[in-house]
Amino acid sequence: MKLTPKELGQLKCLLDALGPFTRDVIEWMLDPINWWRFSQQVRADARLHGAPPRPHIGFLLAQRGRALKIMRRELRLSTVAAHVSFCTNLDQLRYKQMKALALVYAEGLPEQLAKIEDAKTLTDMQLVFSELVDEGTCE
């Protein structure tokens, strides 16, 4: 299958957006069952009337965040090495992103900064971040 210039541009944008996850996402989405699950979940989440019945690079580009979320959920219990690696790498990226955001929220609050440094897993960091946001909302 030959891609159009527009699709090649969209593929480049997807590569820029997803970086090292691009290949995993594309390979996973090329499976018709995975595409169907993804497109139906996007339809429900975004309240769309329709979704492409087959893999569509523009749709995937527009829904790349949901694609990562859906893939992570679908692959979380897999023991296949590539799936485990994908989930681990995605969790590490999200941990780093959440930590950076938490550090901005906790600026000047030594107690919170210590909690951030003690959080070693994504789940721990999510709990600390939630606490920071809740405190900020209450003040």
pLDDT tens for 27-73 read 999 999 999 999 999 999 999 888 999 999 999 999 999 999 999 99
Per-residue pLDDT at 137: 55
Tokens 């989930």, located at residue: 87
| Inter-CA distances, 19 with 35, 59, 93, 120, 136, Å | 20, 17, 11, 24, 33
**CA torsion angle 105 107 109 112 (round to 10):** 50
What average pLDDT score do residues 17-30 get? 96
What average pLDDT score do residues 124-138 get? 83
Model pLDDT for residues 25-37, shown as the tens digit of each residue: 999 999 999 999 9
Model pLDDT for residues 79-113, shown as the tens digit of each residue: 999 999 999 999 999 999 999 999 998 988 889 89
Domain boundaries, the chain: 1-75, 93-139
DSSP 27-58: HHHTSHHHHHHHHHHHHHHHT-S---SS--HH
7 Cβ contact list (under 8 Å, min separation 6): 57, 58
Q: How far apart are CA 138 and CA 104, in angstroms?
A: 17
In terms of DSSP H, where are the helices of the chain? Answer: 5-18, 22-29, 32-46, 57-62, 64-75, 81-105, 110-118, 122-138
pTM assigned to the model? 0.83
